Amino acid sequence: MRVGPIVSSLISEGGLLTEEKVNYVLEHQELQIVEDLFAKDALVMEHDQAHEVSLIAPDGNPYVTVAFEAPLFGIWAPKGGKAAFVCIEPWYGRCDRTNFQKKLEEREWGNTLASGESFEASYTITLG
């Protein structure tokens, strides 16, 4: 059970992660989706802040739940605020920061596999 706020890093107009962070206070472990929630693009949640995200109907019942073990996740809707959907994406990596000037192997949330290795991950979507 999450007690404190959930922290989101914000994405720049150029598609890179900024240093700007927003703390979203949860009421009853819920974040209300309002018209301008995605005005600055996707919400990027890092560091295992949640492993299950649900969209909740006005009657309080979840109508879609995404469960995952990924260390990051994004929540977004198309720009303009009038979209008919919200996307919940478990992530194992993310875009670079706007000020990233290091070597590729030094990037945050990078994943590396040796020749012949494989990586598997999964998530579960529950409706209703």
Domain ranges of the chain: 6-109+116-127
| Segment 43-60, tens digit of pLDDT | 899 999 999 999 999 898
| Segment 92-123, tens digit of pLDDT | 988 777 787 778 777 777 788 899 999 999 99
pTM as predicted = 0.82
Strand order in the sheet with 62-68: 52-56, 62-68, 123-127
Task: Please check whether residue 71 is in contact with residue 40, taking contact to mean a CB–CB distance below 8 angstroms.
Answer: no
Say how far apart CA 60 and CA 89 lie, in whole Å. Answer: 22
For 6-109+116-127, CATH number? 2.70.98.10
Query: Residue 15 CA to chain centroid, in angstroms?
Result: 14
> What are residue 27's DSSP bridge partners?
30
